[in-house]
Amino acid sequence: MLSSLPIDRVEAYRLRRPLGAGGMALVFEAVHEILGTEVAIKLAAPHVCRDPTLRARFLNEARALIKIDHPRVIHATGCGQIVTEDDAPILYIIMELLRGRTLRDRLAAGPLSIDEARQIGLQVAEAMCEVQRHGLVHRDLKPENIMLLEDGAAERQLRVKVIDFGIAKVPAAAAPVRWFPTCPQSAELLGQKLS
Ligand SMILES: Nc1ncnc2c1ncn2[C@@H]1O[C@H](COP(=O)(O)OP(=O)(O)O)[C@@H](O)[C@H]1O
Ligand SMILES: [Mg+2]
């Protein structure tokens, strides 16, 4: 997968290995070439990069994820676009790297116990409360988009993160800020109309 990509780095990150793919994107593990820090980078599929509506939707995901900083929701730290030598744009989102597997992969290995189902359900509900608090609607909650994390926690303790806000409903941006080239306060003091 990596060898067929027209790029092997994004900003200062070197793409290391594929982590997964969905209908809209490929996700890679990547490492910062100077700092050695690891991240996940979501690259929009070529059909997404070419279509203005899908491009806007992809960038909406970055806008949603940058806002949320919560242990049950994937967090993004940046996004951008690379233009390849053949002039093809590739949109990307830089996210925290999650170690683990999706709930879909877990279910393929056998049914959940009642305790596992309870823990997963509660944590997904917590994630959705946080998402709702930001005025967002995920709209694509399914086992592929729920990650079960591997970490040092006690074996019976599951940790869950909700990923993939690719078709989330993001509230319209607040009314654009109007910037005044000159100092607005003095204009107000002089009683001038600013609009
Ligand atoms: N931050 C991440 N860390 C590790 N793996 C990830 C991460 N984000 C996504 N993945 C993997 O990549 C797959 C596709 O990512 P996703 O965001 O769901 O893309 P799509 O919008 O195309 O469905 C996921 O099902 C998961 O296996
Ligand atoms: Mg997905």
**Along the 195 residues of the chain, how does pLDDT read in single tens digits?**
666 788 999 999 999 999 999 999 999 999 999 999 999 999 999 999 999 999 999 999 999 999 899 999 999 999 999 999 888 999 999 999 999 999 999 999 999 999 999 999 999 999 999 999 999 999 999 999 999 999 755 566 899 999 999 999 988 764 444 444 444 444 344 444 444
**In the chain, how many domains are there?**
2
Decide which of 42, 66, 96 is a domain's last residue: 96
Same structural domain, 76 and 107: no
The secondary structure of 125-165 as a DSSP string is HHHHHHHHHTT-B----SGGGEEEEP-SS-TT--EEEE---
Same structural domain, 90 and 167: no
Query: Which of 97, 94, 69, 98 minimizes the C-alpha distance to 12?
Result: 94
Residue 178 lies in a domain: yes
Decide which of 96, 120, 144 is a domain's last residue: 96
Q: What CATH number did the domain enclosing 121 receive? A: 1.10.510.10
Burial 143-180 (b: 16+ CB within 10 A, else e): ebbbbbeeeeeeeeebbbbbbbbbebebeeeeeeeeee
| Distance between CA atoms of residues 102 and 147, nearest Å | 4
Question: What token pair was written down for 145?
Answer: 């988009």
Work out the number of other CB atoms within 10 angstroms of the CB of residue 121: 12
Catalytic residue among 8, 86, 87, 140: 140
Residue 194 lies in a domain: no
- Smallest CA separation from ligand 1 atom 23, residue: 22
Please confirm, yes or no, whether 140 is among the known catalytic residues: yes
Residue 195 lies in a domain: no
Same structural domain, 120 and 83: no
Same structural domain, 168 and 87: no
pTM of the predicted model, to two decimals? 0.85
Decide which of 46, 61, 96 is a domain's last residue: 96
Q: What CATH number did the domain enclosing 28 receive? A: 3.30.200.20
Same structural domain, 92 and 11: yes
Residues spanned by the domain of 78: 2-96
Work out the number of other CB atoms within 10 angstroms of the CB of residue 187: 13
C-alpha of residue 8 to centroid of ligand 2, in Å: 22
